Amino acid sequence: MKTVALVFILSAIGLSEQLRDPRCFPPTNIYRAPDCVPDITSENPNFDCQGGHFVRTAGISMPCTADHDCMENMEPNEWCNSERNGFQWAASGCHCDLKLKTCIMQRFDRNYNEIQWAFCTPRNRFRCEVSDHCSPPKN
């Protein structure tokens, strides 16, 4: 009986992993890159190459091998008013992260003194919105 329950639970977890929206979670494949921050964040896919932490947005995970693969993309729609809300853009714009091998955008949170990252948005899908695709609606 316990074995059947365990198999059911593991199957449910596997199915939920397949059904979850990939825009709302960091990539699972990470790469060792010599130029990345060599600390406890280097093995964690929630952190990018420079140690910035993942923020869920409606951005899309787009594979890349170099920065030029990402240059035509924009910041996540939810971040379009970041400068007005206490954030500062990282200088690199939408770029290819060496560890994640995906196009990301970074911003600096002045309130918490930390770097954040999110997937970029393709230019043809960019709309300056206030909604947060991955969070439940606010009542």
CB 117 within 8 A of CB 102: no
pTM score: 0.72
Condensed to tens digits (0 to 9), the pLDDT of residues 3-51 reads 655 444 545 444 444 455 555 666 666 677 777 888 777 888 888 998 9
Condensed to tens digits (0 to 9), the pLDDT of residues 47-98 reads 899 899 999 998 999 999 999 999 999 999 899 888 778 888 887 789 999 9
Q: What are phi and psi of 61, to 5 degrees?
A: -70, 115
Tell me the CA distances in angstroms from 16 to 10, 11, 12, 131, one per residue in order: 10, 9, 6, 24
